[in-house]
Structure 1
């Protein structure tokens, strides 16, 4: 069943729930991880290594040039720098005047990689820029990838907004008619699947706009689903651990949004 309480009562004045425009930031230039604080990096059996990008940003454009370092936190990591991975370019990125961010490249090596994965925790450091008070730790899960065929199967919904509560059972299958597309069978309702496209290298998931089939009489419209409007919320799945996290924006066209919500699945 769908989350009827939230769908009908959670946004009583629906227009008030529309996404608001972001306020213009006028404070200090400070650093943070601006596109999420965790990610999955994979290396294929056919590769010697693979490269993974970690993005960072400043809360507003810098006025002069600055050097930013990505610092490995070995005490909170299971991966070993120099064995499991390297940070390219001496772990340093130059943030030039007028820029609002950059990225670091992590090279993950296949030889020591395992399907169960290892974690590497990173922090930002600069001698000339302050750090923000949020999003200061990035956790990279790096593993030897498994084929998608080992991912699909039966799952339980461990966190949900759409359903009345976690614990539901669903089958995730590959769409035989569309490459790199997964279907969560009967997720929206019986006979209506949640459609997901994915990158076969990074396993980042994109959520095409889709009609859930649920009609809200009081707003005279169907609820639709699309990707989260928050750039830091990136939907992904790990084919080895059989875990998937989706960030979905639920909305009624021309009416408003129920906001960005989370749906999590774990393989049975």
Structure 2
């Protein structure tokens, strides 16, 4: 009898657990759709010299599909924006329509070619709709842009650059493009005679380079000094950069031997 009661208790317990599992449902969000910028809230762009303008697409979204049709507007914040409408930018598509079941859309802004290469233009946007609430998150979007010159502008007529820095005495050096290697330059005989420094750059103006021998044999340490990019665990760390328009290459380099480093050093090349 005790065994029968025990088995019956287990059976009833199993039914209870099973019924609980059957009745359980995952929580479902039933709140507002909430508009927000869905591909980051800050973007930096370049408008290449001689192109007049560049069209940029700005994406937005909702946290759940919308029901019905809704008009969404891209609105410029006049207080935070430094760019001038018509002169610096043009809104090509500032209104978008979200239809039933959609969760995202886009706007289009035309960035005009800046006249002054030293200035950064800035646009700050809000997103609005009379039928969909705007979220308290990612509700502001900043678009910055500068003039992007070409490598020919950087090189100038002869590729000559004035140098100041740590490794050598102030002087002049020739910078050349490396044949058949895109976005790569060499600073001829900078490290030592016969030892060019090879560097690469990207469209954002960030410069990188692999560890290289300088060609200089250090008598105290009994080995050749090497050069590498700036080390983050040392003072003066930062990115090396190239400004095509200003014809300026700034390297933050770290010279080292097996026993240790000589620290992060700034090397500057300015076109003449």
TM-score bracket, normalised by the shorter chain, equals 0.5 to 0.7
* Superposition TM-score, scaled by structure 2 size: 0.51
Aligned to 1:198: 201
Cα 1:84–1:185 change in 2 (3 A) is same
Aligned to 2:177: 174
Cα 1:257–1:178 change in 2 (3 A) is same
Cα separation, 2, equivalents of 1:210 and 1:251: 10
Cα separation, 2, equivalents of 1:114 and 1:179: 27
Q: Residue 259 of structure 1 aligns to a residue in which SS?
A: strand
Cα 1:50–1:209 change in 2 (3 A) is farther
Please say if residues 52 and 113 of structure 2, whose CA atoms lie closer than 8 Å, have aligned partners that are also in contact: no
Cα 1:169–1:204 change in 2 (3 A) is same
> Does residue 190 of structure 2 align to residue 187 of structure 1?
yes
Q: State how many pairs are aligned.
A: 162
* Superposition TM-score, scaled by structure 1 size: 0.52
Aligned to 2:261: 257
Please say if residues 209 and 225 of structure 1, whose CA atoms lie closer than 8 Å, have aligned partners that are also in contact: yes
Q: Residue 220 of structure 2 aligns to a residue in which SS?
A: helix
Cα 1:41–1:225 change in 2 (3 A) is farther
Runs of 5+ unmatched residues, structure 1: 1-39, 52-71, 87-106, 122-139
> Does residue 170 of structure 2 align to residue 156 of structure 1?
no
> Does residue 244 of structure 2 align to residue 243 of structure 1?
no
> Does residue 120 of structure 2 align to residue 116 of structure 1?
no
Aligned to 2:211: 209
Q: Residue 152 of structure 2 aligns to a residue in which SS?
A: helix
Cα 1:194–1:114 change in 2 (3 A) is same
Please say if residues 115 and 240 of structure 1, whose CA atoms lie closer than 8 Å, have aligned partners that are also in contact: no
1:46-195 equivalent positions in 2, closer than 5 A: 48-49=54-55, 80=83, 84=88, 110-114=111-115, 116-119=117-120, 142-143=146-147, 145-152=148-155, 153-157=159-163, 159-164=164-169, 166=170, 168-195=171-198
Cα 1:141–1:170 change in 2 (3 A) is farther
For the pair shown, the structure with the greater C-alpha radius of gyration is: 2
Cα separation, 2, equivalents of 1:50 and 1:235: 27
Cα 1:210–1:204 change in 2 (3 A) is same
Runs of 5+ unmatched residues, structure 2: 1-43, 58-78, 91-107, 123-143
Q: CA RMSD in A?
A: 3.3
Cα separation, 2, equivalents of 1:50 and 1:246: 31
Q: Residue 219 of structure 1 aligns to a residue in which SS?
A: coil
Comparing both chains, which one has the higher relative contact order based on Cα–Cα distances under 8 Å and sequence gaps of 6 or more?
1
CA deviations over 1:177-229 (Å, ceiling 9, x no partner): 32221001110112211110111x21211011100000101101111111101
